[in-house]
Homo-oligomer: A and B are copies of this chain.
Amino acid sequence: MVENYEVEHSNQTDQMLQEVNDALENGMFIQVRRMLEDMESEDIAYLLEASPPKIRLILWQLTYPEKQGEILEELSEDVKDGIMVRMQPEQLAAATEGMDTDDVAYLLRSLPNEVSRDVLAQMDAQDRARVEQALAYPEGTAGGIMNTDVVTIRSDVTVDVVLRYLRMKGELPKATDALYVVDENSHLIGSLSLSTLMTTQLDTKVMDIMEDSHEAIFVNMNDSKVANLFERRNWVSAPVVDKQHQLVGRITIDDVVDIIREDAEHSMMSMAGLDDEEDTFAPAFKSARGRSIWLSVNILAALTAASVLNLFENTLEQMADIAILMTIVPSMGGVAGNQTVALVIRGLALGHIRHSNTRWLVIKEASVGLFNGIFWACIIGSVIIFWKGNWMLGSIIAAAMLTNLVVASIVGVTVPILLKKMKIDPALAGGMALTITTDIVGLSVFLGLATIFLI
C-alpha cells in the first residue's frame, strides 16, 4: 500500500477509474465487468457521473444488479433519471432492496407516478409500508431525508443493560453515534452518545449520563435549515420529532453533506442560469434546450436595451463617439452589481441577513457603490478626456458611471432580499434583474446627458 502514496497525490480511486476507462476503450468488457465487481458502489457512481451517456449505459449494463441500488443512491438527479427510465419496475424494485428508506423514497419521487406505483407493487409488504410512510413527508423537509431506523432506550436502565441489549441486537444502523432516550409514549427526552456509553461505569443509569437538551429537529423543518443546524452544531446525526415531540426518525450527516453541497452549487449554477442538477455529460440537444429559458430572458433584456438606444437614434447618428463609448458604463454596473448580488445571496443562504441588519447592509452596499463610483468615474473621465480630447464627453461618462454604480449597488442588495421575501429564488432571478437595470440605467443616463449637453 505504501508506494501508492506519492507527495503529488494520486489515489487508488483515480487509478482504478483510469484502468476501467482504458479497458472500456479497448472493448474488454469482460475485464471491465470483473473490475466493476471489485469496486465500491460509490466509485462506480463517480465513474458513471464522469462518463458520456453512451459509455454510461455500457457501464450500467456491466454492473451487477445487487449493487445498482447503492449506485443509484449516489448519483445526481439528471444522471439517475437517465438510467432509471431504461429500467423495468421489477429491476428497480430489486435495486431498492437494502437501501435506506429515505433514499428509496427519494428515488421513487423522481419517477413518473405510474412507474413509481409499479415499483412499489413489486416490493415486499413491510418495505412498501415503510417507503409509503416516507413518501408521505414532503420533499425538501426533514421528514424527506430522515431514516426510521432509530435505536431507542429507556432512561431508567443501566449502561450494562444497554450494552447487553446492543450485543444482542448485533448491528447498529449506519452512522449511529448516539442512542435516543424516550419515555413510554415515544416522546424524546434525551440522547446518549456511544462515546459516553463506552466510557462510563457499567452500573450507571442512563438518566444520569444522558444529554437531555438535544435540540430536536421538527419533521417539517426545511432541509436547508437542517443542514445549517448540522453545520453549526457539528452533529453526526440528530433525532427528528413530530408536533407532539414524539421521536419519528433520525437524520445522518451523509444526507446533510449532500444538501450542503447542493445548496451551495445551486447558487452558483442558478446565477449562471443553469439547472443545478444539469448533467455535465448530457446529450447536446437536451442541454441546449435546458439553457434556453435564460437566453430567452436575456434576449428580451437585450432588445429592451436596444429599444432604449432607439430613442436616442438622433444622438447616435450625430456623434459616433457616443456609440463607441456607450457600452462601458453598463458593463461596469453589471460587474459591480453582480458582486453585491453574489454577496447577498450567500448571506441569505447562510441565514446571516435578517430583518434587523438589512438596513445596515443596504447603507453599507450603497456606500461601497459610492466609493467605487467616485473612483471609477475619475478614472474613466480622465481616460476619455485624454483619448477623445473632449472635456464634456469625459464629464458625462464620469457622471453616468457614478450614477450607475450607486444604482447597481442598491439594486444588487435590495432585489435579492425582496425576491426572497416574495419566495422567488434570488439566485435564479437576482442577477438577471440586476443586469437589466444596470443596462438600462447606464445607457439612459449616458445617452440622456450626451443628448442634452453635446447635441
- A residues sitting closer than 8 Å to B (CB atoms) are 1-2, 5, 7, 9, 11-13, 17-18, 21, 25, 40, 42-43, 45-46, 49-52, 74, 163, 166-167, 169-172, 174-177, 194-195, 197-202, 215-216, 218, 220-222, 225, 229-234, 236, 241, 243-245, 253-254, 256-258, 260-261, 264-265, 267-269, 271-274, 278, 280-281, 283-285, 287-288, 291-292, 294-295, 298-299, 301-303, 305-306, 309-310, 313-314, 316-317, 320-328, 330-332, 335-336, 338-339, 341-347, 350-354, 356-357, 360-361, 364-365, 367-368, 371-372, 375-376, 379-380, 383, 439
Q: A177-B236, A339-B294, A371-B288 are in contact. Are A49 and B360 (CB under 8 A)?
A: no
Q: How far is the CB of A241 from chain B (nearest CB, A)?
A: 7
Asked if B376 contacts A299 (CB within 8 A), the reply is yes
Main secondary structure of the interface of A (DSSP, over half): helix
Chain B residues with CB under 8 Å of A352's CB are 46, 49-50, 280-281
Further 19 A-B residue pairs, CB within 8 A, beyond A288-B367, A299-B376, A314-B320: A7-B220, A9-B222, A13-B229, A40-B233, A50-B352, A175-B236, A236-B253, A253-B257, A257-B260, A269-B346, A281-B360, A288-B375, A291-B339, A292-B372, A295-B335, A295-B336, A295-B376, A309-B327, A327-B327
Q: How far is the CB of A119 from chain B (nearest CB, A)?
A: 24
Task: Give the distance in Å from the alpha carbon of A46 to the alpha carbon of B231 in the complex.
Answer: 11
Q: How far is the CB of A314 from chain B (nearest CB, A)?
A: 8
Residue of A45, A229, A287, A288 contacting most chain B CB atoms (<10 Å) = A288
Task: Give the distance in Å from the alpha carbon of A452 to the alpha carbon of B348 in the complex.
Answer: 51
Asked if B372 contacts A298 (CB within 8 A), the reply is no
Q: How far is the CB of A439 from chain B (nearest CB, A)?
A: 8
Q: Return the chain B residue nearest A168 by Cβ.
A: B199
Asked if A357 contacts B253 (CB within 8 A), the reply is no
Task: Give the distance in Å from the alpha carbon of A49 to the alpha carbon of B233 in the complex.
Answer: 15
Asked if B306 contacts A327 (CB within 8 A), the reply is yes
- Tell which of B2, B197, B281 touches A243, judged by Cβ atoms closer than 8 Å: B2
Q: A221-B11, A324-B316 are in contact. Are A272 and B274 (CB under 8 A)?
A: no
Chain B residues with CB under 8 Å of A379's CB are 299
Q: Return the chain B residue nearest A276 by Cβ.
A: B346
Chain B residues with CB under 8 Å of A347's CB are 280
- Leading 6 A-B pairs by shortest Cβ distance: A264-B264, A272-B342, A284-B367, A323-B323, A268-B268, A288-B371
Chain B residues with CB under 8 Å of A383's CB are 303
Chain B residues with CB under 8 Å of A268's CB are 264, 267-268, 271, 342, 345-346
Asked if A301 contacts B231 (CB within 8 A), the reply is no
Chain B residues with CB under 8 Å of A221's CB are 9, 11
Q: Return the chain B residue nearest A46 by Cβ.
A: B232
Q: A352-B49, A353-B50, A364-B287 are in contact. Are A372 and B295 (CB under 8 A)?
A: yes
Task: Give the distance in Å from the alpha carbon of A352 to the alpha carbon of B380 in the complex.
Answer: 42
Q: Return the chain B residue nearest A171 by Cβ.
A: B199
Chain B residues with CB under 8 Å of A310's CB are 324
Task: Give the distance in Å from the alpha carbon of A194 to the alpha carbon of B197 in the complex.
Answer: 10
Task: Give the distance in Å from the alpha carbon of A337 to the alpha carbon of B17 in the complex.
Answer: 30
